[in-house]
């Protein structure tokens, strides 16, 4: 199996063998999976409490759904996430908090109130973002989107070699982030399944993920209930958990370290089993054939 790289998130350091669960918390009324279940702030805070109890290592708070929809400007995005991040930080002082935004303006606002990581899901659409992250000593997740505009779906996008394109893009972004002052161990790369990709592309990235984890940067994967899982198995959004967990195990074996997910306990169990098989964790108990 392929090993990852050391990483630092907030005040916590993790070895290359770490497999961390990042729980999704949507502050949107129209997310594709939960359909606004955590749109109300109190409901979103309950979601944070739930995933913390379930063993999430960090949360990822987003104020805009990735898919096309109602326009959400920076002022509205800040209204959705800044005060909420402040509440989460007050209630969970040790929790690592990530915010899913591509806007430097929003990143600055959430970092001021206690966020630890900025998850730039749109491949560097705002070039000022790394400098803001560096200013606060925060972490930065970088993604490959094939150059598509934020909140647009890919249409007949083509690559000579999708993994080569992902590698080139992420290495360029990572090197730029470090040059801007972001600490190397706080830079995380994400091939961004489905973003700027069709199902064939996402499957190829999964199959060859070791080509990314061998680059020496911590790798995040966001697989949870994605369309490539649904199309691979012909399953609607609400029936993709089994496929998601299968993809999770594959990516874990290839060395991915952070998993952005909806279902925390199931993901944690899959990752723990991979860690036990890999020899990174001992079995919880071993009595078979010994008692």
110 — phi, psi (to 5°)?
-75, -35
Cα distance between residue 177 and residue 184, in whole Å: 8
The yes-or-no answer on residue 65 being catalytic is: no
Who's near 198: CB < 8 A, 6+ residues apart? Answer: 154, 157
Options 65, 103, 240, 260, the catalytic residue? 260
Location of structure tokens 């070699």: 161
Query: Which candidate in 65, 80, 167, 226 is catalytic?
Result: 226
Please tell me the distance from the alpha carbon of residue 184 to that of residue 8, in angstroms, as a whole number.
Answer: 9
Q: Quick check: 59 and 23 in contact, CB under 8 A?
A: yes
Helix (H, G, I), strand (E, B), or coil: what is residue 149?
coil
- Please tell me the distance from the alpha carbon of residue 251 to that of residue 242, in angstroms, as a whole number: 14
Catalytic site includes residue 197 = no
Residues designated catalytic: 226, 260
């Amino acid at each position: 199996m392929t090993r990852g790289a050391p990483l630092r998130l907030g005040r916590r350091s993790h070895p290359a063998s770490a497999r961390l669960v990042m729980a999704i918390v949507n502050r949107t009324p129209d997310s594709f999976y939960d359909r606004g279940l955590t749109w109300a702030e109190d409901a979103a805070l309950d979601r944070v409490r739930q995933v913390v109890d379930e063993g999430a290592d960090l949360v990822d708070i987003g104020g805009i759904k990735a898919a096309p929809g109602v326009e959400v400007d920076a002022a509205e995005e800040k209204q959705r996430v800044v005060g909420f991040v402040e509440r989460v930080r007050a209630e969970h002082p040790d929790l690592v908090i990530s915010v899913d935004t591509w806007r430097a303006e929003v990143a600055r606002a959430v970092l001021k109130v206690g966020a630890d990581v900025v998850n730039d899901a749109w491949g560097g659409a705002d070039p000022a973002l790394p400098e803001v992250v560096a200013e606060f000593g925060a972490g930065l997740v970088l993604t490959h989107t094939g150059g598509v505009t934020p909140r647009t779906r890919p249409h007949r996008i083509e690559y000579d070699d999708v993994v080569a394109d992902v590698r080139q893009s992420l290495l360029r972004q990572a090197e730029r982030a470090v040059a801007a002052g972001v600490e190397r161990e706080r830079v995380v790369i994400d091939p961004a399944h489905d973003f700027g990709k069709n199902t064939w592309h996402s499957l190829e990235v999964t199959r060859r993920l070791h080509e990314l984890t061998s680059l020496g940067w911590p790798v995040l994967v966001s697989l949870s209930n994605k369309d490539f899982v649904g199309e691979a198995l012909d399953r609607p959004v609400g029936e993709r958990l089994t496929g998601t967990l299968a993809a999770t195990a594959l990516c874990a074996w290839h060395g991915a370290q952070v998993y952005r997910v909806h279902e925390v306990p199931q993901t944690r169990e899959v990752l723990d089993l991979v860690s036990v098989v890999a020899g990174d964790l001992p079995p919880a108990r071993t009595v078979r054939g010994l008692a």
